[in-house]
Structure 1
Amino acid sequence: MEALSRMISALVTNGFICGFQIGSLSRGITTISHLLFADDTLIMCEIDPDQLRAVKALLLCFEAVSGLKVNYDKSELVPIGEVHNLRELAGILGRKIASLPMSYLGLPLGIAPRARSIWDTVIEKVERRLAGWKRMYLSKGGWTTLIKSTLSNLPTYFLSLFPIPASVAGRLEKLQRDFLWGGLGEEFKFHLVKWEMVCCPISNGGSGIRNVRVFNRSLLGQWLWRYIKEPEALWKTVIENKYGGLGGVGVLEKLEGPLE
């Protein structure tokens, strides 16, 4: 993949394809032509048949020199904005056509980051997992362990990237509360302890179950820490070119409000 990355960069350097440019002359411009994750590759270029032919030729060369083969059945052409000659462009690469919004590496693309619909898949996973558990064979300690080891971890990926809406956080907490205090059937059971107390650390008399809102804020706060500690990271360069440079404590104050 390192060789493929250098080949794509060579196409950009020699003007065969143009990647996605972010920033301005005053802030700096970053050109992103491709992103790699394990065996998954995302290549970006303009709506130009010649550029797609260059990408096609590059992939053929890569197959010849590496002995690997591109799986076109799992490859898709995703237009951004209105594209009039989409069928012609797709015919050059021989790939399927997809559209935004879509799911990429388990995350939604083309959806507003604060939209509630992003969390539908997370809630469905939690509900499916709850439906498969036989609570009648578990003690309160067993239910607590399942919440801490499984239910609390299912939304972690999304919680580390998106601020959770209050309605979604309330829904997830309700599912956990009903599972903890529910009986063998669907009848209502009184909650013997406040949920805030249940989410307290064990050393403070709680059960150590994570509070969804606090956990979300903690995970998002790690990006502020990484912003300062990873000066050469690509994602940081993109943010600075698009929104302007921030430094030191100013990052925390601008993104999170005044420090207390």
Structure 2
Amino acid sequence: MVCNAVRAFFIKGYLPNGVKATALALIPKHSNASSLADFRPIALCNTIYKIIAKVLALRIKNFMPLIIRCNQSGFIKARVSTDNILLAKELLSYTRNVRGIKYFCAKLDIRKAFDTVSREFLLKRMIQKGFPSRYVGWIKACINNVNFSLVINGALEGYFNTTAGLRQGCPLSPYLFCIVMDALSNLLDDGDFRGINVDGFALSHLLYADEVLVFGEATVENCIKLANILNVFADTSGLKVNLEKSSILLPRNMSNSEDICQALNIYNITHLITYLGVPLSFNRLRISDFLPLMEKATKKLSGWFANLLSFAGRLQFLKFTIVNSIAYWIRGAIIPKAVIKYFKKISSKFLFFGDLDVGKKLHMLSWEEVCKPKTYGGLGLPSVQALQFAYNCSVILRMYNSDSALSKWLVYRYNSPWKPPLSLASTFWKSVCATAVASRQKFKFKIHDKAPSPFFGITGLIMILSLIGLKVMLGIKPLI
């Protein structure tokens, strides 16, 4: 029956309203939710509909990288969301040292993002992107004339229709939303708005679903252009910027800061913004900026469950909670030594005693021994330094094997991690260069038959190996 229903939809292009009917569960955004604005609606779709939507999503998934600009990293295959964090940090570090031009960074909050998308605009956008009319018809049948009911105390209440929005919980919604947001990328990149443009490298914004980060020259004229673009996008797509929740990051000693805020109608000036959970600033992060991470880790390790876990259980808990949180923050910041010391302290107390309030006691192993691999007598818990080293290696690998905006920027700005870093290079890039030098001695290479250039004698081989860059990666295969 299910297979026949799914097959009938793809043949006739018709979906009954009963199959599209959706229950809305309200999920609190935080623990102290008291008003309707503090809840997020999650769509509970029909099983047959989810099968159909999943099939359509799988068909569009592989084509998304070809039709969506590289600024968007959310829900796109082979794109890494944390690249946006590192790229934003690199751009802020670069613009701080540019002479003669001041830049701003604005974090824009889209009001009720998925719930206010214009369906008519989405369908027109898909036709503009070149989707077949039959596929667009299937999408139209899925998103139009959808009836909703609210789940209240376990029972369904009400039955109402909507004229806009995408369902959060539908497999199709993330991809359709990215198609809509790509229109904003077109307006910013193809219009008169001036973003960061340095000798051929141009970037004006970064997107992760509805998380928008805009970079531009800090002039009143440029900010007026940005405001006009946002208004045009809101009128056509239905996605409006929540100015109260948006914020702007400005360099120090800006004489026209008030005029810029007035042009954008954003008055929340800050020295620090949080993007995808990680703090970003023009300046180097201070220890106080890591307090949210430290408080989060302390709260997780202070729970009553610690007494119920064995030593092995506490070890696994550290691996899959605290270590993962630190590994995520490493994407956008170099962890200060004082913060690393704090994590060693609380992690050691939790692991050996299960209590963060315990006084000075003799630990069975030093933390350096705990962080060693099991083959070397340790417990296999990665240290912060090991996490940083591993992430730096992944950045080097993707620098030569990815066409992401981050890879393009690193190649343009620094050329190669095996060269001495520039004096004005960011702290992170200096860390990457140190990693490249340390890992270079561990490389093993094998010449294979698909090398692009023939090797004549040992002299040519030594010359190629000395480059340790893109040409080597294309012609030399590592022994794995």
TM range (shorter): 0.7 to 0.9
What one-letter code is carried by the residue in structure 1 that aligns with 2:382? Answer: R
State the Cα distance separating 1:49 from its structure 2 match.
Answer: 3.0
Distance 1:44 1:94 in 2: 16
CA drift of 1:224 comes to: 1.2
- Supply the AA of the counterpart residue of 1:31: A
Structure 1 residue 44 corresponds to structure 2 residue 215: yes
Q: Which residue of 1 aligns with 2:314?
A: 143
Residues 114, 225 of structure 1: alpha-carbon distance in 2 compared, 3 angstrom cutoff:
farther
Distance apart, 1:104 and its partner CA: 2.7
Residue 258 (structure 2) pairs with residue 90 (structure 1): no
- 3-state SS of 2:200 partner: strand
The superposition leaves residues 199-257 of structure 1 with CA deviations (integer Å, 9 ceiling, x where unpaired) of 34445554332222212211222111111212x332233234334x22xxxx2464123
Deviations 1:33-89 (A, max 9, x none): 222221022223333333322222222221222123222222223323433233233
Is 1:125 matched up with 2:321? no
Q: Is residue 3 of structure 1 aligned with residue 183 of structure 2?
A: yes
Question: Given the two structures, how large is their TM-score scaled by the length of structure 2?
Answer: 0.46
Q: Which amino acid aligns with 1:213?
A: Q
- Amino acid of the structure 2 residue aligned with 1:242: R
Q: 1:134 to 1:187 in 2, by over 3 A?
A: farther
| Alignment-derived partner of residue 53 in structure 1 | 224
Sort the Cα spacing of 1:81 and 1:20 in 2 relative to 1 into closer, same or farther, 3 A.
farther
More deviation in 216-225 or 94-103?
94-103
* 2:195 is aligned with 1:19: yes
**1:160-175 equivalences in 2 (<5 Å):** 160-175=331-346
Match of 1:207 among 379, 384, 391: 379
Cα distance in 1 for residues equivalent to 2:283 and 2:227: 32
- For structure 1, the 5+ residue unaligned runs are 23-27
RMSD of aligned alpha carbons: 2.7
Give the corresponding residue for 1:177: 348
Q: Superposed, which structure 2 residues align to 1:72-111 within 5 Å?
A: 72-110=243-281
User: 1:25 corresponds to which residue?
Assistant: none
Query: 1:192/1:110 Cα in 2 relative to 1: closer, same or farther (>3 Å)?
Result: same
Tell me, what secondary structure is at the counterpart of 2:349? helix
Aligned length in residues: 245
Tell me the TM-score normalized by structure 1: 0.80
Percent of aligned pairs with the same amino acid: 26
Structure 1 CA distance for aligned equivalents of residues 330 and 307 of structure 2: 31
- Please give the alpha-carbon distance, in whole angstroms, between the structure 2 residues aligned to 1:183 and 1:169: 20
Are 1:198 and 2:407 matched, yes or no?
no
Q: Which stretch of structure 1 is more off in the superposition, 148-157 or 133-142?
A: 133-142
Compute the displacement of 1:155 (Å): 0.9
Q: Which whole-Å CA distance do the structure 2 matches of 1:80 and 1:150 have between them?
A: 35
Query: Greater CA radius of gyration, 1 or 2?
Result: 2
Instruction: Look up the equivalent residue of 2:187 and give its one-letter code.
Output: M
- Mapping of residues 249-260 of structure 1, within 5 Å: 251-252=417-418, 254=420, 255-256=433-434, 257=437, 259-260=440-441
Q: Which residue identity is paired with 1:162?
A: A
Q: CA deviation at 1:98?
A: 1.4
Q: Which residue identity is paired with 1:98? A: I
The equivalences for 1:222-237 within 5 A come to 222-230=394-402, 232-237=403-408
Instruction: Tell me which residue corresponds to 2:131.
Output: none
1:29 aligns with 2:209: no
Which residue pairs with 1:69 in the alignment? 240
Indicate conservation of the 8 Å contact 2:204/2:214, yes or no.
yes
Task: Specify whether residues 78 and 161 from structure 1 end up closer, same or farther in structure 2 by C-alpha distance, changes over 3 A only.
Answer: closer
Partner amino acid, structure 2, of 1:145: Q
Cα distance change of structure 1 residues 183 and 42 upon mapping to structure 2, 3 Å threshold: closer
Alpha-carbon distance change, 159 to 47 in structure 1, aligned in 2, over 3 angstroms: closer
